[in-house]
Structure 1
């Protein structure tokens, strides 16, 4: 008897590597072909598909999939490819600006140190957030999903997403209050 999709997802959530590998083998090639529609370089396309599967495995325990697994995987690859395209565009724009204006934005060692310390502190503060709050916040800020997409993925209402992200921002403001002067100093140093 063929396992249901719910059985497959339950096995993956429980860490069943064999079931995950089966899903990987079934969907990997079609997802790579799909990614190639966005990213002409085959290596870039494969890299995004692999990164999506890695993230899928790492977040397996908290996954709430409201569509079919196949639709979820294709949507995740779609989002990753679009983010990569945005990244390429920003990088190219920065490169053009640097060529035109010259590299006057080199960081001083102090700026680099302050930025690294602040970045580490932000990551620590995010990890302290309650699970659903952290998921909603990271999907919004790092995966750049819209509130409706987050609601669909987490199986909650858009209003709950708004509340969770608002809560995350309040907690982070409190957690990082000591670093507000540092953030301001970093900004001032990078904007002469």
Structure 2
């Protein structure tokens, strides 16, 4: 789907394909940007600027091998630039960032919704207690459904680090849910 839109945009200047791409990727990119800048309006501006630049360079679009990774990396870099300009700090560490995850929405009967809500709250609490880097990696892997190799490119870290951070996150979430069930 993304690859098809990418081709239509690059080869045909297809604004409908561009709009479809934007609507498909913008929510995840915006959440990712908010994780860094903690300002919804600034995050939306950053993502909009990335898409405007993408449209402006659409004739080069076919040179991009993985457009989703390219866009997440572009948003990360733009967020870092924004933070450096805003705060006049030359480097931001993952440990200094707080990641916000959106709760999952499910449809079920009232009893299942109650149980799911309790489990969701226990999971959310466990996720909120994760270290910032671990939380960010978990968000990209599980919420944005990016592959470990893609996350490695976006965050400029090794796949092994991602694997270990996701394992840590899942273990802590599991422990929190088990403790919640035992109560």
Relative to the length of structure 1, the TM-score reads: 0.47
Structure showing greater Rg: 1
